[in-house]
Amino acid sequence: MEKNKKVLDMSNISFETEGNPISNYLKWLDKGELITGVDYQRSFVWSEWKQTNLALSVLIGIRIPSIEVYRTVKGLKIKNIHDGKQRIITLQRTVNNCYKFDTSKFPFEYFTINGEVYAKEDLNGLTFGELSPELQELFLDRNFKMEITSGIDDDIAEGIFTLYNMGAEALKPQEIRLASMGRKTRQFFNTIKELPVFNHAAISDKQKINNLQHDIIAQTALLLNFNTGCELSGDNVSGFINQYRDTGLPEELSNRLLDSFNYLSTVTNLLVMDKENNSTGKGKKKKEGSATKITFLNKTNIVMLAVEADKAKQNGILEAEFTQIVVDFFKNLPSDYKNASSSKTASESQVKIRMESIAKGFTKSVNNAIPSTPKLTIVKKVIPENVSIYDNEDFCMSNNDIPQNVMDAVQGSY
């Protein structure tokens, strides 16, 4: 072995665990006995709502993950933090009144602290110093663990830190949103994501693994609730969905959401059957067992179509008529819709442009069609005069339920 090469020798390294009140950690920070400025770690980056979530967790009594520290010699007072820097600095900033509590993303609306019930809004906007003396004392007395590694220097500590961070992949934003929406809403979304519209959408397997369907459904819920263009950023959508974490979405909104995606799924089946029929004998083959994909059914467009499907269902527009309108719209895509779908698609202004464009296009197409009657509808643009469809709200078409003569009438390229 070459001289001066550093060797990791575990026989000289020891491990121990200590449990200490928060007040002790803050005292050690003030004395310089607990070092947070290790140069291979990132700077402090937590937002105020993340700091708030940790502070409230401490008050409630939720277990805080331990911090990892190291020192060169066992018994040495000075310790360096190499995992848990964001947490320990947050505790210090909390007690020093460096920020006001932002409870907007705390996942529980109500909770108990020492047996007393609080709403998260009760603490919103307060600093630590504005809490009651009893709550301040409770915070400082809360214990959490410190894992101590003794007998290593900075180089070995950096190597261990690298191993810690290579061993676990950080949660993706979609995974965090999925966990925070609450069980009732998540189970409801899981039902919707199994509908045909998602099976035939232009969504990759990787996107499905990352729960893109849940994002699409959540964005649609937000737009249906406010009936206008809204910012569709992850934070904005999560903020809306998470307020129903404990109760699930309101019944009226849930019904509209489910009806909209059921309606859109029937339209999707019509599109799929027409595409498969038109592809017969043209050398177009799809992988055996794979679902036919409708290329314009991507994340952005599904949300817009689901909103229009909600309107169409309420106005008594048949799925076959809506299908032809969809085909015509995407075959001759308006420039304003196209431009608003190319960049910054989550911004409120771009969402409004898309909603106004598709609403205008669909309204124009509906006005050119013969109005529907309660039982019998003949659609000028879609169905020949000798073909009829019965409008029964209890009837939901699947691939096998759609009559061939109806499919022959629904034409388009996509």
Q: What is the pLDDT along the chain (414 residues), one digit of tens a residue?
A: 556 666 777 888 889 999 999 999 999 999 999 888 665 556 788 999 999 999 999 999 999 899 988 887 777 888 888 788 899 999 999 999 999 999 988 988 999 999 999 999 999 999 999 999 999 999 999 999 999 988 887 778 777 766 766 655 666 777 777 777 888 899 999 999 999 999 999 988 888 877 889 999 999 999 999 988 899 988 889 889 988 887 899 999 999 999 999 999 999 999 998 888 876 444 445 555 567 899 999 999 999 999 999 999 999 999 999 999 999 999 999 999 999 998 778 899 999 999 999 999 888 776 665 444 333 233 333 434 443 333 333 333 344 444 444 444 444 333
227 in a domain, yes or no?
A: yes
191/232 same-domain check: yes
155/176 same-domain check: no
pLDDT score of 370: 46
40 in a domain, yes or no?
A: yes
186/224 same-domain check: yes
The residue among 165, 183, 200 that closes a domain is 165
Helices (H), 193-287: 196-199, 205-209, 212-226, 234-242, 251-279
77 in a domain, yes or no?
A: yes
Can you give the residue range of the structural domain that contains 93? 14-165
**∠ CA(310), CA(328), CA(199), 5° rounding?**
55
396 in a domain, yes or no?
A: no
117/52 same-domain check: yes
235 in a domain, yes or no?
A: yes
99, 179, 309, 383 from 403: Cα distances, Å: 64, 42, 21, 12
Determine the distance from the C-alpha atom of residue 15 to the mean position of all C-alpha atoms in its chain, rounded to a whole number: 39
pLDDT score of 256: 96
CB atoms within 10 A of CB 317: 24
Among residues 372, 368, 334, which one has the least CA distance to residue 353? 334
How far is Cα 72 from Cα 294, in angstroms, rounded to an integer? 61
Rg of the chain in Å (alpha carbons)? 29
68/134 same-domain check: yes
Looking at residue 360, its amino acid is: K
Among residues 237, 245, 233, 226, which one has the least CA distance to residue 185? 245
pLDDT score of 388: 34
182/159 same-domain check: no
**∠ CA(262), CA(303), CA(376), 5° rounding?**
40
134/217 same-domain check: no
Please report, in angstroms and rounded to a whole number, the separation of the first and last CA atoms in the chain.
66
Beta strand 67-71 with 389-390: parallel, antiparallel or unpaired?
Answer: unpaired
285 in a domain, yes or no?
A: no
261/188 same-domain check: yes
pLDDT score of 90: 96
Total count of domains within the chain = 2
154/193 same-domain check: no
pLDDT score of 160: 73
Which residue has tokens 């263009």?
229
358/212 same-domain check: yes
153/199 same-domain check: no
122 in a domain, yes or no?
A: yes
Residue 313 tokens, joined: 């269902």
Beta carbons within 8 Å of 245's beta carbon, 6+ residues apart: 107, 108, 109, 180, 181, 182, 185
236/316 same-domain check: yes
88 in a domain, yes or no?
A: yes
How far is Cα 235 from Cα 222, in angstroms, rounded to an integer? 12
Give me the torsion for CA of 294, 299, 302, 306, rounded to 10°. Answer: 160
Determine the distance from the C-alpha atom of residue 361 to the mean position of all C-alpha atoms in its chain, rounded to a whole number: 30
Residue 211 tokens, joined: 């729960």
Q: Is 70 helix (H, G, I), strand (E, B) or coil?
A: strand
Decide: pTM greater than 0.75: no
Instruction: Tell me the torsion sign for CA atoms 30, 36, 42, 47.
Output: negative
Which residue has tokens 């520290």?
69
